[in-house]
């Protein structure tokens, strides 16, 4: 099929401001958007810049706005877009470094703020710290995060204020708050109840719609809010 591909372009060494470039291409409906970007880079314009690594929906590095919606380029087929016009832009709310590459530092700073690792200073047992299947199930959904930022950069609260910790940070806090082996839930809940925490979430749901791992993000945020208000992890 013939497609019209419109790409956001910005090279800070040359351009005073961003612009769009449009390419007319032949592509297959089963091509991924990542394949099409690789084609442009390999055969038309080697200066086109974007992040990618695994190409299989695992590393989370190729989040982009594709026809207005945050998605992973490697998990989006041309035929999913229902038409032959494709627009690819960088995710919103983070500074553009070049073309489709944004500065992810504020996103990862917010992630680190919620202490996204297991904290337990009790003496380690001889073998592993055991957990029942039911206790594991409690936070199973939020273990699936690949830190792609599709959620946080689709959230209006984050567009307005990049110090808002954002849904990806909340998902990763949830993953440890509800882990029966962890002992730092109170500390995390205190961080999450502060000014840029979960109460700046207004249940917009963009995050849940954008997540390529289909994590029920808004539900997880609701569980964190409930834990703060009730003081219970049940
Ligand atoms: Fe990406 Fe989903 Fe994790 Fe957000 S919660 S960073 S959308 S995988
Ligand atoms: Fe934003 Fe998701 Fe809440 S889009 S407002 S974090 S439900
Ligand atoms: Fe790794 Fe798409 S390149 S998730």
Q: Classify 50 in phi/psi space as left (phi over 0), alpha (psi -120 to 50) or beta.
A: beta
Structural contact between residues 72 and 148, judged by C-beta atoms closer than 8 angstroms: yes
Nearest CA to ligand 1 atom 8: 145
Cβ of residue 210 lying under 6 Å from some atom of ligand 1: yes
Q: What separation in Å is there between the alpha carbon of 193 and the centre of ligand 2?
A: 15
Q: Considering all CA atoms of the chain, what is the largest pairwise distance in Å, rounded to the nearest integer?
A: 63
What are the tokens at 147? 């830190």
Of the residues 110, 152, 157, 210, which should be mutated to test ligand 2's pocket, given the most ligand atoms within 8 Å of the CB? 157
Each residue's pLDDT, cut to its tens digit, for the chain (234 residues) gives 999 999 999 999 999 999 999 999 999 999 999 999 999 999 999 999 999 999 999 999 999 999 999 999 999 999 999 899 999 999 999 999 999 999 999 999 999 999 999 999 999 899 989 999 999 999 999 999 999 999 999 999 999 998 999 999 999 999 999 999 999 999 999 999 999 999 999 999 999 999 999 999 999 999 999 999 999 898
For the chain, domain boundaries: 2-102, 105-230
Predicted confidence at residue 162, as pLDDT, reads 85
Q: Which CATH class is domain 2-102?
A: alpha beta
pLDDT tens digits, residue range 69-91? 999 999 999 999 989 999 999 99
Predicted confidence at residue 82, as pLDDT, reads 87
Q: CATH number for the 105-230 domain, one of 1.10.1060.10, 1.10.10.10, 2.30.30.30, 3.40.50.740? A: 1.10.1060.10
pLDDT tens digits, residue range 14-29? 999 999 999 999 999 9
The binding-site residues of ligand 3, defined as CB within 6 angstroms of any ligand atom, are 52-55, 57-62, 72, 74
Predicted confidence at residue 234, as pLDDT, reads 83
Predicted confidence at residue 17, as pLDDT, reads 96
| Distance between CA atoms of residues 214 and 224, nearest Å | 18
User: What is the number of other CB atoms lying within 10 angstroms of the CB of residue 5?
Assistant: 22
User: What is the number of other CB atoms lying within 10 angstroms of the CB of residue 46?
Assistant: 9
Predicted confidence at residue 126, as pLDDT, reads 92
Of the residues 54, 76, 101, 212, which should be mutated to test ligand 3's pocket, given the most ligand atoms within 8 Å of the CB? 54
pLDDT tens digits, residue range 38-54? 999 999 999 999 999 99
Predicted confidence at residue 219, as pLDDT, reads 98
Structural contact between residues 1 and 27, judged by C-beta atoms closer than 8 angstroms: yes
The β-bridge partners of 176 are: none
User: Can you tell me which atom of ligand 1 is nearest the CA of 207?
Assistant: 7
């Amino acid at each position: 099929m013939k497609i019209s591909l419109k790409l956001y372009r910005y090279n800070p060494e040359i351009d005073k401001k961003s612009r769009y470039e449009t390419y007319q291409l032949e592509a297959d409906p089963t091509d991924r958007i990542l394949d099409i970007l690789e084609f442009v880079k390999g055969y038309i314009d080697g200066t086109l810049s974007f992040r990618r690594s695994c190409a299989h929906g695992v590393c989370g590095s190729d989040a982009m706005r594709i026809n207005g919606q945050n998605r992973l380029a490697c998990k989006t087929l041309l035929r999913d877009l229902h038409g032959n016009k494709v627009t690819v832009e960088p995710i919103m709310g983070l500074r553009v470094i070049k073309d489709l590459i944004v500065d992810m530092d504020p996103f990862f700073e917010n992630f680190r703020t919620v202490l996204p690792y297991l904290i337990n200073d009790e003496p380690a047992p001889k073998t592993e710290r055991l957990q029942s299947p039911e206790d594991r199930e409690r936070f199973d959904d939020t273990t699936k995060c690949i830190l792609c930022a599709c959620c946080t950069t689709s959230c209006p609260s984050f567009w307005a204020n990049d110090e808002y910790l954002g849904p990806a940070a909340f998902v990763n806090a949830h993953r440890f708050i509800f882990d029966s082996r962890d002992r730092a839930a109170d500390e995390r809940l205190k961080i999450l109840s502060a000014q840029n925490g979960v109460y700046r979430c207004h249940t917009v749901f963009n995050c849940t719609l954008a997540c390529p791992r289909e994590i029920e993000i808004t539900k997880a945020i609701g569980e964190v809010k409930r834990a703060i208000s009730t003081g219970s992890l049940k």
